[in-house]
Structure 1
């Protein structure tokens, strides 16, 4: 039952490896969503804890001073806040002076909304949940497809040799 050194046992080991990686990624995605739930359920921050790592969140008014595809700079109550962002596409031409609402969670700006802007920052806890879930499904399905295609090819070769 071997063809070119790739036996059924090796195929099952490959399949098990793909499935193990897929399960780990799916479990990681479920833990990633826990961060989103914690953000959503966090109590409101008292004024003296807004920029501390205390487990709280608050949405405050701010003014955008600069925006690039990898960083936004804002004035939040007289304090300069410049979180990292991952923006794609065309950025608005005039953002300096734009009033926005900024959600701050555990001392970091996690969401910006106002005017044509509406995005999460790199500090947002939900940053890679969807990607982990998609990668996990890819490994689960891809492993089965890879091993199945290999089995079909080996079966076809054996039939041609007869």
Structure 2
């Protein structure tokens, strides 16, 4: 019973956590618009500006925003376009950090983009609740069968 209580407690914690899993995403959506001078400032605002790609690998994107160079961490999958260098793009900055890049064949969130973890936490919580209950039930049935068969 103690194991079942542990699974249930952990599952409920994940379900409650799912209620707060989208806070960062909600804050991003409701952030006020920055002035162009605040693009790289850590103030609570967002802005989308024109930029040019200066380098592109599967884990880094180099951009030029009005003469200022920036290197951004990304996690790109699949083949990368060969003609990305020099490509004009639109870059969304949030709190001074690039969070989204779009232009040409590129359209992706960066590693610093706020994410919505609601679904992941909810599914994990349900899996722990249901899976833990099934596991404890199976173990209890096996133990009961063993005790019934012992002399």
Shift of 1:107: 0.5
Q: Does 2:60 match 1:71?
A: yes
Aligned equivalents of 2:119, 2:77: Cα separation in 1: 17
CA distance, structure 2, for counterparts of residue 127 and residue 91 of structure 1:
26
CA root-mean-square deviation: 2.1
Aligned residue in 2 for 1:116: 105
Query: How many residue pairs get matched?
Result: 151
Once the two structures are superposed, the pairs formed by residues 2-21 of structure 1 within 5 Å of their partners are: 12-21=1-10
SS at match of 1:110: strand
CA distance 1:101–1:131, shift in 2 (3 Å): same
**Counterpart residue number, 2:85:** 96
Q: Report deviation, 1:32.
A: 2.8
Structure 2 runs not aligned, ≥5 long: none
Question: Which of the pair is proportionally richer in strand?
Answer: 2
How has the CA–CA distance of structure 1 residues 16 and 68 changed in structure 2, closer, same or farther, with 3 Å as cutoff?
A: farther
List alignment gaps of at least 5 residues for structure 1. 1-11
Partner of 1:86: 75
Distance 1:30 1:92 in 2: 39
Q: Report the alpha carbon displacement of residue 44 of structure 1 after superposing the two structures with TM.
A: 0.4
Pick which of 89-98 and 102-111 moved more.
89-98
Using structure 1 for the length normalisation, give the TM-score.
0.80
Aligned mates of 2:18, 2:67 — CA distance in 1: 37
Bigger mean CA deviation after superposition, 44-53 or 15-24: 15-24
* TM-score, scaled to structure 2: 0.85
Q: Distance in 2 between matches of 1:90 and 1:156?
A: 56
> Of residues 129, 134, 137 in structure 1, which corresponds to 2:123?
134
| C-alpha distance in 2 between matches for 1:84 and 1:132 | 25
Alpha-carbon distance in structure 2 between the residues aligned to 1:143 and 1:77? 55
The equivalent of 1:42 in structure 2 is: 31
